[in-house]
Each structure stands twice: as structure tokens, then as C-alpha cells.
A and B are shown apart, each in its own frame.
Chain A
Amino acid sequence: MIIAEQKPFEEIKSLVGAAQKVLVVGCGTCVTVCFAGGSREAAILAASLRMASKLNGDPKEVSDVTVQRQCEWEYLDSIAEQVSAVDVVLSLGCGIGVQAIAEHFPKTWVVPGLNTAFLGLPAEQGVWVERCAACGDCILGLTAGVCPIARCSKSLLNGPCGGSQNGHCEVNPDIPCGWQLIYDRLKALGKLEMLYEIRPPKNWRTSRDGGPRKIVRPDLRLSEEE
């Protein structure tokens, strides 16, 4: 899922600026699970903004609403009326949610309340770690289910590098070496010989190097009659 964290409160206040009516929009999917922008976080931020602005002598009207997914038009339709009644929408969705609101409500000023961090998972309670770089050409089948793009600090395809020390990365000793993990898992599964396979250079055009990406599925598209 998409992992995000809330921006510093001071930054959020400056993004909201002088707007009097603010709608905090939470998202009920990824950012709810990572406790950054769900209905509770939206309510807490709205209450915090109300209190802070009142203490500042400039009380704002701050309300909150949470949609199931900010990244789908159908869910955004349900908040159209509330969005049209405010000066600014403070989105607690990921970067996709913020842009979906901007695109769906062209006349609305929308600002982000979160920093979208990475694609990952909750490793333990309160800890989220990166697992995927969305490179568009998955090689997990060659690397024992451990992604060298996301988990090697250098995204090496022929690691480990000389900076791998006792299973840890030279970038930060808290980071396990991605290639050490790959080696250990291949060894445990009796597939170490896979490392002898010579691989051609990775095609990075499927990643960001090819510009903004798009997928079109003709079988799912609606015909003009529909």
C-alpha cells in the first residue's frame, strides 16, 4: 500500500493560509491503514486547526469528511457539495488523492496535508517499510521475492556491493543489505545457482525514465454507445 505521513503542523497552517472555510478530506484506504489520513486523523487535524486558529485570534471554520478512496471519481462525487462550500480543501490523501480532487473540482483550491513517502507494508505496529519502487518491470521472480530495486540503497542488479557489512548497508547500519537478504533466501531455498544467471541491463523505460505512465485495457473500456 501507499505509505504517507502527515506534514508538520506549521507547514499545514501556512498551506491553509488565510482561508476561512477549510474542509479536511480523509481517505479510507492506504493512508487510513498507515494512520496518516483516515477519518480519525482528519478529525484530529480539523480539531487542531480549529483550536490553533482560535488561539491565534483568527478562528476558522474547519470541518472534515472522509471518502472511501480519494483516487476514484465516484467517491469524490459524494463530497461535491461540501467541497464547493469551502475556501480550501486540505487533502489527507496521498499525492494521487490530492491530484484527483484538483482534477475533479477544477474551481477548488486544494493543498496536501501529507507527504507521500513510499510503497510498503507495516513491518510491525507503528513501523512501515518500503518494499516496491513501482519500476514497471518486476524481477522478484529472479531475486527470491526480495526486491533489489526497492531494498538495495543503490538499486543494484548485481549486488551486494562493497558497502555491505555483516548484512547491513553502508548507507545506514539500520538498513539490511537487500542483496544479503536475496543471497540468504536463495541459499535457504537451495536456489543459489540462480545467481549465476547473466541478466541483460534492466529496461528502465517502464519506470519513470519513460515519462508519466499509463495503462490502457481495451477489453475494459466502454464503447461509445455505453
Chain B
Amino acid sequence: MSGVKEDTQIVAFCCQYCAYAAADLAGGLRLQYPPEVKIIQIPCTGKMDILYALQAFEEGADAVMVAGCLPGDCHFLEGNYNAIRRVERVKDLLRMIGLESQRIKMFHISSSMASQFVRAVEEMLDVVEQLGPNPLRANHPENPKEMISEETR
């Protein structure tokens, strides 16, 4: 990952029933995954609002991954299907804005799929490596290492 700058940030919106547990399991299994990922636990990917993703990009995230249950396995029946549609909508918005739509991707990871979670994070890191940093952050005169503003905290 030599092309990835050390201040790279990937925001992962993870369903608490599956991908978040998979990330936890990856830790328990001592599987190493890139530290550039910042995991945000959400009760279901159906809670993933388009604005959450846009705000992440506006604040300088290089990539956003949304990780929900396997198709058909949503704890709330169809939250992950709603998330698929929203991720597609965000892709449209990113193209409209002038950012690469590949910067956001939906994943389906069950709670036992720790290695798949690691691979998903590595895949997004590869995307960032190919596309370069989020220009909204790169163009910033100070290029802040901390992407989340104090106000947002």
C-alpha cells in the first residue's frame, strides 16, 4: 500500500448484527486490517442515510464502505436492500458533484466473515490508492491530517 498516504481515511458504516461483529471477530482472530478504516456502528445498514455518506466525503473521507448483512439475512428484513439503493444514489450524486463513484461501495458480510471484512477494507484501500486522496481534502491549503472537524465531533 505504498501509494496510500498515511492520512488516508476510510469510513465504514457497519451493521451491528453482521459486519461490525465481523470486524470484532477479525480483531479476536488477530487478523490484521488496515488501520485507515474508521468503523461506525449503525443498528442496520437501513439506517445509512445518504447524508451520512455525503458528510463523510465533504469532511474529507477518501472512501466510504457500507457493510450490511447477506442478502435475505437482514435482522430488519430489508434494511440492507434499502442500503443498496442508497449507495447507488450516492454514486450518482458523487458523479454529479465531480468525485469518483468508486469511492463508495456496498458490502455484504455476515458476523462470521472476519476475513471477508479484512478483504473489503483492503479493497477500498486499493481504490483509494488508484484514485488518490479525496480532492476535497487534498485541495485544502492545510491538508488537515484529522479529517473530522472539531465542530462535527
Residues of A with Cβ closer than 8 Å to B? Answer: 9, 40, 43-44, 47-48, 50-52, 54-57
Contacts and interface: CB of A to CB of B under 8 A. Distances in A.
A55 B97 contact: yes
5 closest cross-chain pairs (CB), A and B: A55-B98, A9-B96, A47-B54, A52-B97, A51-B97
Contacts of B143: none
A43 B50 CA distance: 10
A52 B98 contact: yes
Interface of B: 49-51, 54-55, 57-58, 93, 96-99, 135-136, 139
Contacts of B99: 51, 55
The winner among B49, B98, B135 for most chain A CB atoms within 10 A is B98
Main secondary structure of the interface of B (DSSP, over half): helix
A60 B96 CA distance: 17
A51 B57 contact: yes
A51 B53 CA distance: 13
A67 B135 CA distance: 33
A55 B96 contact: no
Given A47-B58, A48-B96, A40 B51 contact: yes
A70 B29 CA distance: 56
Given A9-B96, A54-B139, 4 more contacts: A51-B136, A55-B98, A55-B135, A55-B136
A50 B96 CA distance: 12
Given A44-B50, A44-B54, A54 B96 contact: no
Nearest to A126: B85
Nearest to A9: B96
Given A54-B136, A55-B136, A47 B55 contact: yes
Contacts of A44: 50-51, 54, 93
A43 B53 CA distance: 12
A47 B51 contact: yes
13 contacts: A9-B96, A40-B49, A40-B50, A40-B51, A44-B51, A44-B54, A47-B51, A47-B55, A48-B54, A48-B96, A51-B54, A51-B99, A52-B96
A203 to B, nearest CB: 46
